[in-house]
Structure 1
C-alpha cells in the first residue's frame, strides 16, 4: 500500500480500548489488505511514536435481518498497536 492514510482508517475508542491505553496499546480500524509491517510504519510516521509490536484481528461481519430480508455487515480488520513505554499517541488523549 502506498499511502499511510489509506492503511489506518480510524481509531477505535471503546471502554476496552481506553483501558488498553494504560498498557500502551492502541486500537485502530485498518485496511483489510494491510500487513503488520505496513501498519507499524504508518503509525510511526503519523503519530511519531516507536511501535514495538502489532497484533491484527479479522472481524467477521454479523448477520443482520430486516423483516424477511437477510444480509451481513461488512467484515473488517482491527489492529492493536503496542507502543514503547513512556510514549503516547496524543490523538487518543481524552483528558
Structure 2
C-alpha cells in the first residue's frame, strides 16, 4: 500500500462525512462537495492500487533481466543486437 492509496481512502472518507453533514443540514453545496471529494478519493485510490500492481508485476521481470545480463553478458549483447536488427527492419517495413 502506498501513499496514494492511503490519501485516496482518507479523501473518500472525508467526502462521505461531508456529504452526510450536508444531507443532515440540508446543505446541497456541501453534499455535492462531498460527492466530488469521494470521486477524487476513489480516483487517487485506484491510481495507487494500479501503481502497486505495476510494481509487483514489473519489478521481478526487471530484476530477472538484470541478473541475466550480469550472468551472461555475451548472450545479452547478441540478443540485443538481434532485437535491434529486428526493430530496424520493422521500422523500415521489411
**TM-score bin (small chain):** under 0.3
- Higher helix proportion (structure 1 or 2): 2
- Higher strand proportion (structure 1 or 2): 1
| Structure-2-length-normalised TM-score | 0.21
| Structure-1-length-normalised TM-score | 0.21
